[in-house]
């Protein structure tokens, strides 16, 4: 293989690695944004409630924060969702909602 061929191969390999790293960073950023959104939602519910938060909500929130800070956003989001369910709410991601979206609509054939 010629020197030019090796250089082209190196450039293509570098470009592929760069794209993979960029996509993994983007996924991590989205997960972190979702963690922050659910943390704010849960904090708003616990601080605005007239009665104290039910038992276990604080522990789940602490667990979720720890998981999200370690980069385990999927597990952190599940912990936030459990805490929100105990509070009688559900996770809401305002920036991702589409006005006319029907997430579970069946396609008729």
Over residues 8-52, the pLDDT tens digits come to 555 454 444 444 444 444 556 888 899 999 999 998 888 876 777
Q: Alpha-carbon distance 8 to 95, whole Å?
A: 41
**49 domain-assigned:** yes
Over residues 66-108, the pLDDT tens digits come to 999 999 999 999 999 999 999 888 888 776 544 555 555 455 5
pTM of the full structure: 0.61
Look at residue 63 and tell me if it is in a domain: yes
Per the structure, the count of domains in the chain is 1
In a domain, 98, yes or no: no
| Containing structural domain, residue 55 | 3-92
Give domain status of residue 51, yes or no: yes
Q: Is residue 7 part of a domain?
A: yes
Alpha-carbon gap, residue 50 to 73, rounded angstroms: 30
**Is residue 81 included in any domain, yes or no?**
yes
- Is there a domain that residue 72 lies in? yes
């Amino acid at each position: 293989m010629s020197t030019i061929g090796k250089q082209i191969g190196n450039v293509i390999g570098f470009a592929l690695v760069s794209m993979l790293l960029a996509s993994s960073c983007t996924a991590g950023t989205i997960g972190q944004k979702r963690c922050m959104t659910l943390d704010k939602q849960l904090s708003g519910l616990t601080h605005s409630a007239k009665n104290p938060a039910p038992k276990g909500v604080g522990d789940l929130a602490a667990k979720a924060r720890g998981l999200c800070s370690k980069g385990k956003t999927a597990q952190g989001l599940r912990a936030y969702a459990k805490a929100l369910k105990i509070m009688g709410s559900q996770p809401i991601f305002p920036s991702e909602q589409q006005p006319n979206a029907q997430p579970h609509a069946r396609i008729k054939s």
